[in-house]
Every structure is written in structure tokens, then in C-alpha cells.
Amino acid sequence: MVELALGIMLGLLGLGAGIGMIAGIGPGIGEGQAVAKACEAIGRQPESKSEVTSTLIMGCAIAETTGLYALIVAILLIFVAPNMFAGIIMNAVK
Amino acid sequence: MQKGNRFDNISVRFIFREEEPVLNLDPSVKRETGYIAAWTGILSLVMEAVFLLLRQWDVSVLLGNLGGAAAAVGNFFAMARTVSQAVEQGDPKSAATRVRASAAIRMLTIAGICALLIGLAKTNPFATLIPLLFPRVGIMFWPLAERKRKAETAGTEGSELD
């Protein structure tokens, strides 16, 4: 019974990590759109290239943070949560 | 007859290729990566101090911090370089595709590095993962630094005009 509970727990944690990583798709799409618009802007005003590139880099880094949050949660679910939940299950059985 | 390595000439040509520098970086990439690296370093020291104060410090915390900070700065540098090269390219469609592909590859690389550090090297998970968020803190203060830099540039240009 304990083995079954542990198996279900590990499966659900893996599933949660996988679902969480869906958030990693968004930043890529957002960054791509931002860069495409920046290319158009630089095409219109080539003299503003340096300023646009700097702002774009920082904007992309901000966009990327959401993906990193998802990644951190997924890694915590895979590496940290199993020990924690296993402890809770074992205590409940005792 | 001299018996040398047959790859000698090739390697010499590869190293001393003068017309095309190996790492041709945009100045804004260097500047912003330096800024983010400085913030990551400062915040890493603060995190180490917090672990020490909580009496939770050990070598796994230091290793995790170093690995996480290196991954964070490396990720930012790779992103900045890809973005600047995509902008340099000029074509919006191919630039967007390039950046999307880079984002996916970087995310997988960071996941792999973290999994190796936490799973195999047994570093502290929190000390490994928290530095990934340090660049975001640095970006929060970026407008202030940018305003200061612009004021300094304007001052220098003004004095040059005088």
C-alpha cells in the first residue's frame, strides 16, 4: 500500500513538473515577436540601433524570467518534493 | 624531410585568422552582460552570507551557488548574443525563428545543468536554483543605471562640444 502511494505521488509530481514546463513555451514566442518588431524599428530608424538593442536584451531577459520560474518549480518538484512527500507518507503510515 | 603533424598548418591558420575575430561582440552585449554578472556576483555573496547566518552553509551550497550563477550569466550572455545577431541580420521572420530556437535550447541546457548539479553533484537545490533569478533583480535596477549612464554620456558630449 505504501509502495502504491509512493508510486502515485512520484507520478503526479512528474506530471506536475511536465505541465508546469508548458509555461516555458511562452517566453520563446514573446522574445521572437519582440525581436521581429525591433528589426522593423531598426529598419525604420537605423541610428537608434544601440538603444533598441540594449532595451531589447533587457526586455527579453524579463520575458525569460517566467520560463525560469516554471523551470525552477519543475526542478523542485522532481528533486526536492519527493523526499518531502515521502517523509509525510511514511509518518502517516506510522 | 621534416616530419611534422599534418594538422599543424590548419591549426595555425585557425588560430591566427586575423580578418575575422572569433568572438565579435556587440558593445551593448558586453555592457549588459557585465552589469548582470556584477549583480549576480553581489547577490551570490549575499546569499552565501544568509546561508552562513542560518548555519546551513556547507560546500554543497558554495558549489550550487557557483554553478547556478554561472548558468544564469551564461544564459543571459547567450540570449543577448543571439538577440544582437538576430537584430544584425535584419530580417524579422528569420530573427524571430532564431530567437525562438535559442530560447528552447537555452532552457533545455539550464534544465540539464541544474539536473546534473542537483542530481549527480548533490549540490544544495535552493543554492543552485535561486541564482537563476538574480539577473531579474539586476534588471529591476537597470533603468536607474541606464539613466546614470545616459547623463554621463550627455555630460561628456557636452564637455567635448565646449
Q: What is residue B52's predicted lDDT score, i.e. its pLDDT?
A: 95
Phi, psi torsion values for B92, nearest 5 degrees: -60, -40
Residue A58 domain-assigned (yes or no): yes
Domain count, chain A: 1
Give yes or no for a contact between B71 and B134, defined as CB atoms under 8 angstroms apart: no
What is the least distance, in Å, from the CA of B35 to any CA of chain A?
Answer: 11
Residue B113 has pLDDT above 60, yes or no: yes
pLDDT greater than 90 at residue B41: yes
Model confidence band, residue A64 (pLDDT cutoffs 50, 70, 90)? very high
Q: How many helices (H) and strands (E) does chain A have?
A: 4, 0
Residue B24 confidence (pLDDT): 76
Residue B111 confidence (pLDDT) above 90:
yes
Q: Where are the domains of chain B?
A: 24-138
Q: List pLDDT tens digits, range B55-95.
A: 989 999 999 999 999 999 999 999 999 999 998 888 889 99
In a domain, A3, yes or no: no
Is residue A49 in some structural domain? yes
Q: What is the DSSP string of A9-46?
A: HHHHHHHHHHHHGGGGHHHHHHHHHHHHHHHHHHHH-G
Task: Write out residues 98-127 of B within 8 Å (CB-CB) of A.
Answer: 98-100, 103-104, 107, 110-111, 114-115, 118-119, 125
Identify the CATH number of the domain in which residue A64 sits. 1.20.20.10
Whether residue B111 contacts residue A62, with contact meaning beta carbons closer than 8 Å, is answered with no
HSE (side-chain half, CA atoms, 13 Å) at B114: 30
Rounded to whole angstroms, the Cα distance separating B74 from B110 reads 9
Residue of B nearest to A50 (CA): B28
Q: Above 0.90 for ipTM, yes or no?
A: no
pLDDT category of residue A92 using cuts at 50, 70 and 90: confident
* CB-closest option in A38, A42, A50 to B28: A50
When scoring A29, A35, A50, A55 by the number of chain B Cβ atoms within 10 A, the one with the most, hence best to mutate, is: A35
- Determine, yes or no, domain membership for A88: yes
What confidence score (pLDDT) does residue B121 get?
87
Res B155: pLDDT: 76
Q: Which residues between 22 and 51 in chain B have a beta carbon less than 8 angstroms from any beta carbon of chain A?
A: 26-29, 31-32, 36
